Amino acid sequence: MTVQSRHERFQLGSHADLTCCADRLGVAIPFSEDIQILFSPLDVAGYRLPNRFVVQPMEGCDADPDGAPGQLTFRRYQRFAAGGSGLIWFEATAVIAEGRANPRQLGLTPANVGAFRRLVEETRAAAAEKQELLLVLQLTHSGRYARPEGTPRPVIAQHNPLLDARMGLDPDHPLISDAELDQLQEAFVGAAKLAAGAGFDGVDIKACHGYLVSELLAAFGRTDSRYGGPFENRAGFLLDVVGRIRAEVPGLLVTSRLGVHDGLPYPYGFGADVETLAEPVEVAERLRALGCPVLNVSLGNPYYNPHVGRPYDSPVAGAAAPDEHPLVGVARLLHAAAVIQRAVPDVPVVGSGYSWLRQLFPHVAAGAIAAGDAALVGLGRLALAYPDWVRDLAANGALAPDKVCTTCSGCSQIMRDGGRAGCRVRDSGIYAKEYRQGRAQAAGRKKQDKR
């Protein structure tokens, strides 16, 4: 770390400030004064998206106990739909109960598919100016971060000393077997069929952030297994599932949110060489060959290095600020999307990690699209904070500084504390209380632990 790359809070008021900061840090940040390209339509798998904005998957942890969307889930997606993005990427949804990251994670089952159908219908009905929406559901197994009843029930593909130590995982903890992974393939395919029946246009096989499918991509140390060791084996689960869904659920779009750089050294992380991203490029090319019409690129592991995937001003409680300027993180995310986009130029790539840039993000996004570094722009936290940002930007040519995300990590904190996640700053009517309750409960637990 150079002295200049120390963590700093956002203090960029203008293009000049951004350029000066990027120069000081030695990173490349694209920029375009003209943002019209963000409002140019794009055809994806036969759908005409009205603009280049995508709402990224963002777990609200507000499902009913059976995994069906709850009241706040409906509210969140209606707000996103009314906001004006053409593509809404629904949050992580477990394909089996044991794979849930928390007891309020969405989980799609034959018994609750009707509730998902209502969610799709009500989301479409809320669309701004009745525009057509492309709706993709993210399917997941939370792997080592599974907490289906609220306490850890890790399902791991391999031992990883860096992650195991952080979690206090026993060295004897068993690995998921090949036979169990074969069965899990069935669960992904079954969930995709249900998603098609619920009216989603597509599904994403989540392969990022250290969850099970992403851990398999990095399972260099998984020996004597059809799903570990050589590249073909490590990528096999993801590619098999995508291929099977393409064959068995005709008409359903299949994609992946691909974690192309875990931020862990070889042999513990996928895409360890962030400059070349050689293996992630290979996976992207394979997914293209399988007919994926769009790809979403992310980085990092929110439990190990959260700043890598979501650069922020303030960390969650108890965590130290990283030894990295958030703009360096933004530059890494832009670079990763660009490497993948250039490798598969005919597949639109959704770039991630723009929220830290606040009201400057449209200019950076327009610069990235103009340069061919991504075709679509995904917003996570900013979408929670400011769900109608697309309409505001179209109407005023700029975002309102008092509506953007402040990257305070409040929404992540609520998740950590076991609450329903949302923006405590800009949607405080609901989420400030949720935040306070979560913090109070966490303090209570700490006190009890000390006794």
Ligand X SMILES: Cc1cc2nc3c(=O)[nH]c(=O)nc-3n(C[C@H](O)[C@H](O)[C@H](O)COP(=O)(O)O)c2cc1C
The listed partner (ligand SF4, ligand X, none) that binds 354, CB under 5 to 8 Å by sort, is ligand X
Q: Three-state DSSP class for 114?
A: helix
Over its C-alpha atoms, the chain yields an Rg (Å, rounded) of 20
Q: Report strand pairing: 106-107 vs 349-351.
A: unpaired
Task: Pick the binder of ligand X from 84, 107, 210, 309 (CB under 6 A).
Answer: 309
Task: Pick the binder of ligand X from 57, 67, 202, 362 (CB under 6 A).
Answer: 57
Q: Does 300 bind ligand X (CB under 6 A)?
A: no
Tell me the β-bridge partners of 349: 295
Find the binding residues for ligand X in span 146-185 (CB under 6 A): none
The listed partner (ligand X, ligand SF4, none) that binds 387, CB under 5 to 8 Å by sort, is none
What distance in Å separates the CA atoms of residue 233 and residue 186, rounded to the nearest whole number?
18
What distance in Å separates the CA atoms of residue 363 and residue 368, rounded to the nearest whole number?
9
The dihedrals phi and psi of 127, each to the nearest 5 degrees, come to -60, 140
Question: Quick one: which of 86, 91, 79, 90 has its CA closest to 53?
Answer: 86
Q: Which is nearer to ligand SF4, 104 or 381 (CB)?
A: 381
DSSP 39: G
Q: Does 67 bind ligand X (CB under 6 A)?
A: no
Q: Which is nearer to ligand SF4, 84 or 422 (CB)?
A: 422
3-state SS record for 317-375: CCCCCCCCCHHHHHHHHHHHHHHHHHHCCCCCEEECCCHHHHHHHHHHHHHHHHCCCCC
Given the structure tokens 């700029």, which residue do they identify?
398
The residues, ordered by sequence, that sit 6+ positions from 260 with a Cβ below 8 Å of its Cβ are: 270, 271, 277, 280, 284, 297, 298, 299, 336, 339, 340
Kindly indicate which of the ranges 27-35, 116-124, 274-282, 377-385 contains the residues binding ligand X, using the contact rule CB under 6 A.
Answer: 377-385
Binding site for ligand SF4 (CB under 6 A): 381, 384-385, 405-411, 423-426
The listed partner (ligand SF4, ligand X, none) that binds 425, CB under 5 to 8 Å by sort, is ligand SF4
| Total residues interacting with ligand X, rule: CB under 6 A | 26
The listed partner (ligand SF4, ligand X, none) that binds 366, CB under 5 to 8 Å by sort, is none
Q: Does 104 bind ligand X (CB under 6 A)?
A: no
The CB-of-90 to ligand X minimum distance in angstroms stands at 8
Q: Which is nearer to ligand X, 109 or 138 (CB)?
A: 138
What distance in Å separates the CA atoms of residue 92 and residue 332, rounded to the nearest whole number?
24
Q: Does 408 bind ligand X (CB under 6 A)?
A: no
Q: Report strand pairing: 42-44 vs 47-49.
A: antiparallel
* The one-letter amino acid at 249: V
Q: Which is nearer to ligand X, 91 or 228 (CB)?
A: 91
User: Please, are residues 56 and 380 in contact by the beta-carbon 8 Å criterion?
Assistant: yes
Q: Does 138 bind ligand X (CB under 6 A)?
A: yes
Kindly indicate which of the ranges 2-10, 12-20, 39-47, 347-355 contains the residues binding ligand X, using the contact rule CB under 6 A.
Answer: 347-355
The listed partner (ligand SF4, ligand X, none) that binds 58, CB under 5 to 8 Å by sort, is ligand X
The listed partner (ligand SF4, ligand X, none) that binds 380, CB under 5 to 8 Å by sort, is ligand X
Question: Quick one: which of 310, 297, 291 has its CA closest to 340?
Answer: 297
Q: Three-state DSSP class for 217?
A: helix
Q: Which is nearer to ligand SF4, 93 or 407 (CB)?
A: 407
What distance in Å separates the CA atoms of residue 381 and residue 386, rounded to the nearest whole number?
8
Q: Does 352 bind ligand X (CB under 6 A)?
A: yes
Q: Which is nearer to ligand SF4, 61 or 191 (CB)?
A: 61
User: Please, are residues 296 and 287 in contact by the beta-carbon 8 Å criterion?
Assistant: no
The CB-of-343 to ligand SF4 minimum distance in angstroms stands at 31
What distance in Å separates the CA atoms of residue 141 and residue 144, rounded to the nearest whole number?
9
Within 10 A of 365 (CB to CB), how many other CB atoms are there? Answer: 28
What distance in Å separates the CA atoms of residue 141 and residue 134, rounded to the nearest whole number?
23
Q: Which is nearer to ligand X, 309 or 348 (CB)?
A: 309
Q: Which is nearer to ligand X, 176 or 207 (CB)?
A: 207
The listed partner (ligand SF4, ligand X, none) that binds 424, CB under 5 to 8 Å by sort, is ligand SF4
The listed partner (ligand SF4, ligand X, none) that binds 101, CB under 5 to 8 Å by sort, is none
The listed partner (ligand X, ligand SF4, none) that binds 410, CB under 5 to 8 Å by sort, is ligand SF4
Kindly indicate which of the ranges 19-27, 164-172, 279-287, 411-419 contains the residues binding ligand X, using the contact rule CB under 6 A.
Answer: 411-419
Q: Report strand pairing: 134-140 vs 202-205.
A: parallel
Q: Which is nearer to ligand X, 141 or 206 (CB)?
A: 206
Site residues for ligand X per CB under 6 A: 56-59, 91-92, 138, 206, 208, 257, 298, 309-310, 352-356, 379-382, 411-412, 415, 421
